[in-house]
Amino acid sequence: MGFREKILELSGVVLTSVGYSGGKTENPSYEEVCLFTDHVEVVKVDYKPNDIELKNLLKYFGSA
């Protein structure tokens, strides 16, 4: 199970999407990102602030 699936298990997280940020290669593949681009993987998290506070969500990012 990847990070995206794990974070979806948190109460209050409603949607995640993954992609790449940075770098100069247009629409890189996962393999390209791993091997030779300056991109990093990113995760966008949509959540309900009434169900999980941002500080608690960020703690999860630090421990994952």
CATH number at residue 21: 3.30.1060.10
Tens of pLDDT, residues 22-39: 988 888 888 888 888 888
What is the domain range of residue 20? 3-63
3-state secondary structure of 46: strand
Say how many domains are in the chain: 1
Q: What is the pTM of this model?
A: 0.71
Q: How far apart are CA 48 and CA 54, in angstroms?
A: 9
CB 17 within 8 A of CB 36: no
Q: What is the pLDDT of residue 64?
A: 56
Give the amino acid at 51.
D
- Yes or no: say if 36 and 2 are a contact pair by the CB < 8 Å rule: no
